Amino acid sequence: MNMEPRIDSDTIASNLIEQMNQLRLTEGAGTMQEHASSQSSGNQQKGHLQIQRNHRGQILPNGLEPPSCIPFIRNDHGWVTCVLNDETSTISNIESFISHWRPSLIGPNNLVPEGCPWIAINRGNRHTPDSGPPRIAELEAAFMSLSQSHRTNGNITLTVSALDQLACQFNVRSGKWMIFADLNTVDSLWANVVRMVCIHRQRGFAKVAADSQKSDRVICVYVDDFTDVKEVMGLRQDLRRIGVEWKIKFKMDAYTYMGIYQSNSWGISPSRYVE
C-alpha cells in the first residue's frame, strides 16, 4: 500500500478545532441527556418507540434501535459525529454506529449524506491542556511575522523548536496519526479504530474522510497535546495492536494552520514522527 498522502487530511482544518471543542464530553453528555429525556417522554406518551428518520426523511434501518445510537449522533459543520461517554459507550451503541455510518457508503441510498466531509467518534475523557481554548488567529499572525524574518540578515527563525513554542504559546496542541486506506479496507479499519478508542482506550477523538473523489480515505486519530510524547507513542502502539503495522505519520494541527505542507519553502518536515 502506498502510504504517501494523496489527499490532504486537513483541507477543511479551519473547522477542526472548533468542531472538537464543540464536542467536549460535557456538552455532548448534556445533548444526549436532552435527547434521551425528550425521547423517553415521547415514548411514554405514545406507548411505543418513535420511528427514526435520517436527514432526507427516510426511515432508518430497524437494526439501529432509537434508544441506543440515534440520540448520540450529531451533525455539526456537515459532519456525522457519534458522541459517547462512559455510560453510553456500550457494545450495542458502538456496533450500531460502525455498521450504519460506513465511510465507503455515500449517497441517497445510505445514511451518510452526499457532501459529508467526515464521520467522527468522540469518546470524551480527553486530556486537554489547562491553558484555555486554542487561539488560532494569533498563531497564524505570529507565524507570519516570524516567517518574514526567516533567513533575513542570517537569521533562521523558522526552526522546529520555535514552531513548537508558538503552538504551545497559543494553545494549538492537538495532533493526529494519519492512516490511509482504500475503499475495500477503510470500513474494517475504521471499525477497529472506533472500537480501540471507545473500548480499549476509553477516551479520544477520531475521524475518517467520507466525501472524496479519490479511491482512498484518510483516518485521523487524535491526541490533545503533541508535547505528551508518552501519549503520542502510546496511541501509536495501540494502533499497531489493531493491525496498523506499516509506517504512518503524525502531524501537529498547528502546522496545518501555519501552512506547513510537503515541499514547503522553509524545508520543515510537516510530519513530527513517522512510525
**How far is Cα 224 from Cα 178, in angstroms, rounded to an integer?**
15
Distance of CA 38 to the CA centre of its chain: 28
State the pLDDT at residue 192: 98
Residue 270 inside a domain? The answer is no
Percent share of the chain, pLDDT over 70:
67
Residue 123 inside a domain? The answer is yes
pLDDT above 80 for 67 = no
Residue 272 inside a domain? The answer is no
- CATH number of the domain encompassing residue 34: 3.30.760
Question: Structurally, how many domains does the chain consist of?
Answer: 1
Residue 166 inside a domain? The answer is no
Residue 274 inside a domain? The answer is no
Residue 144 inside a domain? The answer is no
Whole-model pTM: value is: 0.73
Residue 201 inside a domain? The answer is yes
Print the domain residue range for 25.
19-128+176-224+232-245
Residue 59 inside a domain? The answer is yes
pLDDT in tens, 214-238: 778 999 999 999 999 999 999 999 9
Angle at 91 between CA 90 and CA 96, to 5 degrees: 100
Burial bucket for residue 63 (CB in 10 Å: 0-12, 13-18, 19+): exposed
When pLDDT is averaged across residues 96-119 and rounded to a whole number, the result is 81
Whether residue 97 contacts residue 82, with contact meaning beta carbons closer than 8 Å, is answered with yes
